[in-house]
Chains A and B, each alone.
Chain A
Amino acid sequence: MIRAPFQLHRPHSIDAAVRLLSQCVQNGEDAKLLAGGQSLLPSLNLGLIAPAHIISLNHVAGLDAIRRDGDMLAIGAGTTHHALAESEVVQAHCPILSETAACIGDVQVRNRGTVGGAIGHFDPAADYPPVLVLLGAACQIVSPHGERTVAAHDVFVDYMTTSLSADEVLTEIRVPALSPDTGTAYVKFTRVEGGFAIVGVGACLRLNPDRTCRSIRVGICGAAPVPVRLTAIEDTLTGTVVNDAFVEAVAAAAYESAHDPVAELHADADYKREMVRVFTRRAVRTALERAD
């Protein structure tokens, strides 16, 4: 049961939404944006938050558009996980994002939940953040002061904290269209189907004709309160032969990177670090199979 009354707003444009949000902020009144509501409603039900205003973005036209824009894909923040998973253009040009979207929650969650909502809420176990960070994605953000583009890496700043200000609205996510020879994988460790990730690892790998590594990128959730990207080892391994030792080197780097995992009741920090290693190994292996 939603415990406290609030005022519901249903603007029909981003400008109107931004205006409403800005008014709430100026008046010192707590406001929350509603997209799919898959995290917001449980929070309201449990009484964890009690905002005075809820601004629904569900009536803003075009917020769920997906389009190819040169060598980028532009994905509306209101795109549901299901739409993202099923999008042919995303499957063709950024399959790791389709794979990620398809493994979030259950069918009901995927039909409602949105990519923008997941980014804005930023649960440390969320699946998109590590993938967006490894892809070098950018977020389009609108506020009364104008529009800005922020790299995904700079959006996720701390435990359940993003760099978005209280008066900003996320409108679009831009990811690069990947070369067709890129092998990608997102693997995830959960207690049960549809559960939150204990660990999630995304990997993108391209090979040179001589089977040396042309490029590798790895992003991890569960290793720390914010997504971890293995930049150093990615650079080190570029140009080297891809073999078992290569995979183990990435897995070892992942293990080292997991210096501050968020401990859970059934997965303490030591265990999580080990699982970061195991699932990084699995992600890289799968990406490699798909790159061949």
Chain B
Amino acid sequence: MAYIGSAVSGILDTRLVAGKGQYTADVSLPDMGYMTVVRSPYAHARILSIDTSAAQQHPGVRIVVTGTDIQQWSQPIPHTLNPSAFGGKTTDIYCLAIDRVHYVGTPVAAVVADTRHAATEAAGLIEVEYADLPVVIDAERALEPDSPLLYPEWETNELMHVRFQGGDVEPAFANADHILDDTLRLHRHTATPLEPRAALAHYDDRAEHLTLWVSTQAPHPLRTTLANTLNMDENDIQVIQPQVGGAFGVKIPTYQEDPLACLLSKRTGRPVKWIEERTEHLMAGGHAREQTLKFSVACQADGTVVGLKVRIIGDVGALAAVGGWGMSYVASFVVPGPYKIPNCEVDLSIVVTNKGPWNAYRGFGKEAASFLMDRVMDRVADTVQMDRAAVRLKNFVPKDEFPYTQISGATLDSGDYAKALQAVMDKAGYHDFAEEQQRLRAQGRYIGIGVGFELTPEGGCIPDSFIGGYEGATVRVSPSGQVTVLTGVTSPGSGNETGIAQIVADALGVPLSAVRVIQGDTQACPYGLGNWSSRSLFMGGSASLYAAREVHHKVLRVAASMLQSTPEDLDCEQGRIRVKGQADREVAFNAVAEYIHKRAFDHHAFDMEPGLESTRYFRMGNIHHVPDDKGRINTYPSYPYAACVAVVEVDVETGVITLLRYVTVHDCGTVINPLLVEGQFQGAVAQGLGGLIYEQLSYDDNGQLQTGTFMDYTLPTAVEVPSVEIHHQEVPSPFTPLGAKGAGESGVSSPFGTIVSAVENALTPFGVTIHATPLTPQRVWRMIHATRHDNSGGADA
């Protein structure tokens, strides 16, 4: 165990920081053309006609296509998650809109030309005639019977209705001491990775082979959906993922532009490159988060929650093939999170509106459940006049009740929630905070402390989809003892290649520098499902461990023969294999590898299968797709969690919130590399904070996006994000060979509940209660100002 658990720097760090990474935009081919997509300026309209004649004539133009061509040449794109498989509605999504647009940014035509300029100029010459249709941008309005309909054949805008129920809810409410109701609203925002989407498609018509370099998280599933969409054989397609500059979920699915670039390469016989612009990303790259969360909670005077009713309305924008609506499903699946509330019901409506389609974003709905449950606990605490942390401690699933199955079927694997919360309170000085708070209040400064808790189910596995709970890896040792690991998981820049190399180096007893991890090439790597849901290390790493162990077994067998010992008596460390306790009886790992490759018929290796390579697959435990007696299935195998404390200062003159401290105790089971885990958690908190306070995708009543550039879509900078204080509590997963749980996504959910709680605490003198995000300075200032009006009868200076 030389490497596992140690803070090894990322093996790609130096290259990436020095700007030597190769991203899709850096890949070029001779004679490639550039694709530009024409997008709808209207939120809802019928396409009456498209005149491409001027664009076709423009110098340098190779091809101009519209939905009519696409329908003729290709199939609809398979849905990443098809709502119809969950009892919902669906519709066919082609690479371009066929006769109707449902949001500003809908792709309606495309041009390929010799240069980006020519393509852009030609795109401007395409004349699309639209007939306006009435627009609906509010989900609750969209549910009304007289609302405009996005997909008239559905006769409703409700994409799906889901209900989870457990226990006896009504009697619990009837016997409760208190019943509280509230409505929470989370606003629309998105991930905005530094590298936008990008593709370079090359159809070689002599070899009849398509190669796609693409900024993706899931090369193998993409290859399958490309084959389906383009009427091609999978064998004729190779997907290569160069380095990815951030993904956060938005690069999981097959977008319309991916098969479109491939198709246009095939039609023109030359390579086609497409680089998404930031404005395109903000309107059409995929949105997230916008949900209304209504709850009614029943509790006793001692803070015990005895019943919970939740109504979630997910505003998922227009339907696309990318499966983002699943986030609203997951939000409902996770309720009531880490709490033991047997009498519970969740009613979910997933609703389409004339806004950008949802697409996966780190958190994947868990942040909504986390925010909801944090708010429920805070409201209960305030009502029964208990400490907000104490109410959580009272209602957690106890540590001796795992595995614990929630009403949805979510089966929580392991943990000690109370211990984590108590530990983080100690580390943050929770109990002594009030004194400092009072001291500063006397100076007119308002600081506050809040607690929050996120449960982050990981490794999602959905029946009949490429969202699956297994992974594959190959470990190959060369004659010189160099180790190649080929994985089905990929890295979006998060560093899992380093964690996997650590696992393999330890399993083989070789130096880390001898291990090279290859990812993201369908022609080279074993079939795998890619990187999402924090699965790369605990699934891909587990498969790599299995393969490395198998290879190691062969090495030890030959080494034992060479050293006249037994495999059990050998130690293998840093490339040297020794008989335990006998320093003079050793052989180099490299020498054994060379022997196996070159002397397969000599006596140390004669009775063994030749070769030094293994491909193994890892199947995750704790996934249940056969419904239990209550009809429940479990789609998440691993349940990491984080208990958090935030300390904020609110400038009551401006409404500006400053996050002073963010402290967490995080359990992702066995930590393979604390540096990687902490880096991911730090970034996740930055995104959570950004989502809570700064970032917003805002639409006007006509469905026009008002925040189409980074001028208006405000991202926090390093100055606004404090250094997160991260502590680990390692409760190993019972379902992975090293005890690792998912890590990477955690940290994005808790800022919502934790910081909101801290802001309310800071503003106690003003009696502010927060129901909606974002917490922009103007909104916070208004909340303070409104109560000042009520309390003192006059506005403050």
Contacts and interface: CB of A to CB of B under 8 A. Distances in A.
B707 A265 contact: yes
A119 B110 CA distance: 40
Contacts of A210: none
A275 interface: yes
A277 B777 CA distance: 15
A2 B777 CA distance: 35
Contacts of B712: 265
Nearest to A2: B117
B778 A191 contact: no
Contact of A192 (B706, B714, B797): B714
A234 interface: no
Contacts of A193: 717-720
A1 B778 contact: no
Given A265-B698, A266-B778, A248 B797 contact: yes
B727 interface: no
A266 B695 CA distance: 11
B279 interface: yes
Interface of B: 116-117, 120-121, 277, 279, 653-654, 694, 696, 698, 706-707, 709, 711-712, 714-720, 776-778, 781-782, 797
B797 A3 contact: no
Given A265-B707, A278-B653, A191 B694 contact: yes
A278 B720 contact: no
Given A248-B797, A275-B654, A267 B778 contact: yes
The list of the 5 closest CB pairs from A to B, nearest first, reads A193-B719, A271-B778, A278-B653, A266-B776, A193-B717
B709 A1 contact: no
A271 to B, nearest CB: 5
Contact of B777 (A4, A191, A265): A191
Contact of A265 (B116, B706, B715, B782): B706
Contacts of A4: 117, 121
Interface in A173-195: 189, 191-195
Given A3-B117, A265-B698, A277-B797, A191 B277 contact: no
A29 interface: no
B171 to A, nearest CB: 46
Given A191-B694, A266-B776, 14 more contacts: A3-B117, A4-B121, A46-B279, A106-B717, A192-B719, A192-B720, A193-B717, A194-B717, A195-B714, A248-B797, A266-B696, A266-B714, A274-B781, A278-B653
B120 A189 contact: no
Contacts of A248: 797
A146 interface: no
A105 to B, nearest CB: 11
Contacts of A106: 717
Given A46-B279, A265-B712, A278 B654 contact: yes
Chain A residues touching B, range = 20 to 34
Contact of B709 (A5, A46, A271, A274): A46
A82 to B, nearest CB: 18
21 contacts: A1-B117, A1-B120, A1-B277, A3-B117, A3-B120, A3-B121, A46-B279, A191-B776, A192-B694, A192-B717, A192-B719, A192-B720, A193-B719, A195-B714, A196-B711, A265-B706, A266-B776, A271-B778, A277-B797, A278-B653, A278-B654
A193 B117 CA distance: 34
Interface in A244-292: 248, 251, 265-268, 271, 274-275, 277-278
A1 B654 contact: no
A58 B675 CA distance: 45
The DSSP consensus for interface residues of chain B is loop
B716 A192 contact: yes
B719 A1 contact: no
A258 to B, nearest CB: 15
B698 to A, nearest CB: 6
Nearest to A252: B797
A188 to B, nearest CB: 12
B778 A268 contact: yes
A5 B654 contact: no
A1 B116 CA distance: 8
A165 to B, nearest CB: 28
Contact of A271 (B279, B715, B781): B781
Nearest to A189: B654
A191 B716 CA distance: 8
Contacts of B654: 189, 275, 278
A61 B668 CA distance: 60
B195 to A, nearest CB: 16
B59 to A, nearest CB: 12
A125 to B, nearest CB: 10
B719 A191 contact: no
A44 to B, nearest CB: 12
Contacts of A191: 694, 714, 776-777
Contacts of A189: 654
Contacts of B698: 265
Q: Which of A106, A193, A268, A274 has the most CB of B within 10 A?
A: A274
Nearest to B655: A271
B738 to A, nearest CB: 40
Nearest to B781: A271
Given A1-B120, A5-B117, A265-B706, A192 B715 contact: yes
Contacts of A196: 711
A110 to B, nearest CB: 15
Contacts of B279: 46
Contacts of A1: 116-117, 120, 277
Nearest to B716: A192
Contacts of B709: 46
A4 B777 CA distance: 39
A139 B712 CA distance: 32
A196 B717 CA distance: 13
B295 to A, nearest CB: 28
Q: Which of B706, B718, B776 has the most CB of A within 10 A?
A: B776
Contacts of B719: 192-193
A220 B596 CA distance: 79
A20 B684 CA distance: 52
Contacts of A266: 696, 714, 776-778
A106 B719 CA distance: 11
A272 B490 CA distance: 47
B430 to A, nearest CB: 29
A265 B776 CA distance: 10
Interface string A75-118: 00000000000000000000000000000001000000000000
B510 to A, nearest CB: 43
Contacts of B720: 192-193
A5 B117 CA distance: 8
Contacts of B797: 248, 251, 277
Nearest to A45: B277
A265 B714 CA distance: 11
A3 B653 CA distance: 43
Interface string A1-18: 101110000000000000
A49 B694 CA distance: 29
Contacts of A3: 117, 120-121
A191 B279 CA distance: 21
A252 to B, nearest CB: 8
Nearest to B279: A46
B113 to A, nearest CB: 13
Interface in A44-89: 46
A247 B696 CA distance: 36
Contacts of B277: 1
A290 to B, nearest CB: 21
A278 B654 CA distance: 8
A192 B721 CA distance: 10
A242 B640 CA distance: 59
A148 B183 CA distance: 63
Interface in A201-228: none
